[in-house]
Structure 1
């Protein structure tokens, strides 16, 4: 009986080790979480917040207005981010104004539109402004237009996307088997011009062809089809640059001869 009592008493004395080990584990987890929060990436935080807000159908994320942060640095990062967004908005408004002034001077109002959308500044050219029907060749006047707009766009560090669009009238030539090829060829022509004569770095540019599949208007009248035949130059907001692939070798460039 005495031996059994001694063994029971010994076991009771060692039970505190279990509680102690649990406490140490919880403290370790706590400090890991706190360290992770202190290293939070403000850009990723904003992207996650915006994504959650959009998926929940809200116009503004609750994470952006959750009161002062208890995590050191997060509040300052959000203030810096807000300041950068404001500066970017002002830059885009300045670009829009400069291009609109040029468009009005050239009498191109109605054929060239400049708008600020969620994705950025969109400069939209009706195809007759830049290209003859069914062609991807710039003439002297259209080259001057692209060069002037390119000089304005050169001041921004943002990514620039050039999009080609057509109507739904089929095209089948030796050079352009379909509207896909025509729309892409036109956007590529504009991109090459921006690189050659506006000195915009190639790694900030991309060319896309949508063919007839991103119409502005129904392709049921000549006037509507004219609206759909266009080339758009988009200055992307910084938040949309996160989905753009980054170059592994930043020093790569595309050598080109400056030829007409």
Structure 2
């Protein structure tokens, strides 16, 4: 009787300790879960350091990968896709790059004209220096073109528009150079503000225009240049470059300006002087 009673007392004690097994299993599962989560979320420090170093080098160089900058490499030095030199990444970028525009025919003509004008300027300056004509011929590179200013002292007599014989030297030299430039050439006559008394011309307008025409006629009739390359005008005393109250200033104003224009001859067709 006594043994049976002890057995009944020990039975309930074993049943109360079974929850420890379930609790231990739960803790084990939780530990495994957190280990897996930690493994998934961990960062490969070596790969991160390699990418960070490549980006830092790119920014310090002042360019970027799309512009041909340094490549991004992996942990073993391999090039990552999409960086410079990668065939797949390069092939994906090429279709999006703007096409290089070819210069138009007109742009090529202007470029050639600029080359010709530069050569013209150098040649005429050398001619002036070699012949000691610095006080009679003045050359300037202006936005509208190469300007050659000829003093009337060796071109014309006072109040006349007939060319002196000594003017042929510089005009012949200019004639030989005009054939090397594809440009329109403008010839302008200018006078001082002194009124004309008597003689052939009624006023400075007629005198300045006739002087420009005399130079033009020399280029066309004597030297045989193409008339379509030229235009001329007379401005009297309306565009002075010197002080008309002084003899020196008036001398500066009595001039003929020949300008090789930065203008294609095709653009000048039909235009008025």
Please state whether the residue corresponding to 2:138 is helix, strand or coil: strand
Q: Aligned partners of 1:130, 1:100: CA distance in 2, in Å?
A: 19
Partner of 1:178: 203
Larger Rg: 2
CA pair 149-245 structure 1, distance change in 2 beyond 3 A: same
Segments of 4+ in structure 1 off by > 6 A?
A: none
Q: Aligned partners of 1:195, 1:99: CA distance in 2, in Å?
A: 20
Q: Aligned partners of 2:265, 2:228: CA distance in 1, in Å?
A: 15
Please state whether the residue corresponding to 1:177 is helix, strand or coil: coil
1:166-245 pair list within 5 angstroms: 166-238=191-263, 242=267, 245=270
Once the two structures are TM-superposed, the CA of residue 174 in structure 1 deviates from its matched residue by 3.8
1:1-260 pair list within 5 angstroms: 75-77=101-103, 81-238=106-263, 242=267, 245=270
Q: Aligned partners of 1:241, 1:172: CA distance in 2, in Å?
A: 42
Once the two structures are TM-superposed, the CA of residue 81 in structure 1 deviates from its matched residue by 4.7
Judge conservation of contact 2:151–2:255 (CA < 8 Å) in 1.
yes
99-108 vs 162-171, which moves further: 99-108
CA pair 180-204 structure 1, distance change in 2 beyond 3 A: same
Report the RMSD for the aligned CA atoms in angstroms.
2.7
Please state whether the residue corresponding to 1:76 is helix, strand or coil: coil
Using the size of structure 1 for normalisation, the TM-score is 0.61
**Structure 2 gap segments, 5+ residues each:** 1-96
CA pair 240-211 structure 1, distance change in 2 beyond 3 A: farther
Partner of 2:94: none
Using the size of structure 2 for normalisation, the TM-score is 0.59
Q: Aligned partners of 2:173, 2:198: CA distance in 1, in Å?
A: 32
Q: Aligned partners of 1:95, 1:193: CA distance in 2, in Å?
A: 20
**Structure 1 gap segments, 5+ residues each:** 1-68, 248-260
Once the two structures are TM-superposed, the CA of residue 97 in structure 1 deviates from its matched residue by 1.4
Please state whether the residue corresponding to 1:238 is helix, strand or coil: coil
Please state whether the residue corresponding to 1:186 is helix, strand or coil: helix
